[in-house]
A = this chain, B = another copy of it.
Amino acid sequence: MQIKNDLVLRAARGEKVERTPVWLMRQAGRILKEYREVRNSLSGFKELVETPELAAEVTIQPVDILGVDAAIIFSDILVIPEAMGLQYEMIEKKGPIFPETVQSTADINRLNVAEANDLRYTLDAIELTKKQLNGAVPLIGFAGAPWTIFSYMVEGHGSKTFSKSRRMLYTDPVVSHQLLQKITDSTINYLKGQVAAGADMIQIFDSWAGMLPREHYQEFSLRYIRQICEAIDEVPITVFAKGAFFALEDMVDLPCNTIGLDWNMSIEEAKRIFPNKTLQGNLDPCVLYATPEKIEEETLNMLSRFNGHPHIANLGHGVYPDTPPENVKYFIDTIKKSQLITS
């Protein structure tokens, strides 16, 4: 199906665009009252993830309500460990908890390599969303980077230091690589399924990239992200490695189209490092708490700093749940009106 507004896809491929496209990480979520209504009618977050009709509904909400240039399928990065055999629970206001964790080769041997069909509910949600979007905007699929998934599987929950998972990289690199490879194989199967189901683009989220020293990042994260990028060659890929300022130089030859920047990475430095990649980001999400004047000023400043480089506008982090939706809309509208500045 022909996509009517394909600005994000063209920007990802480095083609010339009439204006900078925009979407937001976590746009399908708690910032919208329409999302909260759906969510509150259910027993929990996972019911929403696992019910294709509802996942499709909340995926499309920000396209209709906020006017973003792309949808991103509503799901969670932790569906992969679950499909591998490690159940998780999502605790309200606390985050995910894995009652069992992975500590040894024996634990790893008990895990499956997930097949795409093990995550049928997400693939169904993608098919349904594509049908309902009817070509309005592209649909982004996603997965967590293997290192980030590994962290949760070893740690069992979020952490300030992720010292248990980082510890394993030093104390048991062989076991670490075994687990990372199994996660990677699962993720490739899953993302191939997402593309077959209709995802027009893929984003890899490495949320805990910033915890590793550079050498470990190369060995235990980037190596596996590279395998994923090499395997998924049908659609543009974006890699967002939050906090991995130290690894940008190492990502230059990663076979992906777009690099996501967080809000304290330097736009000028990223343009210099990545002459042949599109950049995505990177407004501080806290700007969206400010007045319309301040939002406009900071947004135009960001656009002018990216000017001359292929760019997909976004925040430098997922939008914070208590952000006023009218401010999010103002950010999006500011970008959409700014073609004179960025062309």
Contacts and interface: CB of A to CB of B under 8 A. Distances in A.
Interface of A: 158, 160-161, 163, 166-167, 169-171, 210-214, 216-217, 243, 245-246, 263-266, 284-287, 289-291, 294, 316-317, 320, 322
Nearest to A323: B163
Nearest 10 interchain pairs by C-beta: A170-B290, A166-B286, A167-B289, A167-B286, A163-B320, A246-B264, A213-B284, A213-B264, A245-B245, A213-B263
Given A210-B264, A216-B284, 13 more contacts: A163-B320, A166-B284, A167-B289, A169-B286, A170-B284, A170-B289, A171-B289, A171-B290, A211-B264, A213-B264, A213-B284, A213-B316, A246-B266
Given A163-B286, A285-B163, A317-B161, A266 B214 contact: yes
Contacts of A246: 245, 264-266
Nearest to A298: B170
Contacts of A217: 264
A286 to B, nearest CB: 4
Contacts of A265: 246
A314 B170 CA distance: 18
Q: Which of A160, A211, A284 has the most CB of B within 10 A?
A: A284
Nearest to A263: B213
29 contacts: A158-B160, A161-B320, A163-B285, A163-B286, A163-B289, A163-B320, A163-B322, A166-B284, A166-B286, A167-B286, A169-B286, A170-B284, A170-B287, A170-B289, A170-B294, A171-B289, A171-B291, A210-B210, A210-B264, A212-B264, A213-B263, A213-B284, A213-B316, A214-B266, A216-B284, A217-B264, A243-B243, A245-B245, A246-B266
Nearest to A217: B264
Nearest to A247: B264
A298 B23 CA distance: 42
Contacts of A286: 163, 166-167, 169-170
A326 to B, nearest CB: 15
Nearest to A316: B213
Nearest to A295: B170
A322 to B, nearest CB: 8
A290 to B, nearest CB: 4
Contacts of A158: 160
Contacts of A322: 163
A222 to B, nearest CB: 14
Q: Which of A163, A213, A217, A246 has the most CB of B within 10 A?
A: A213
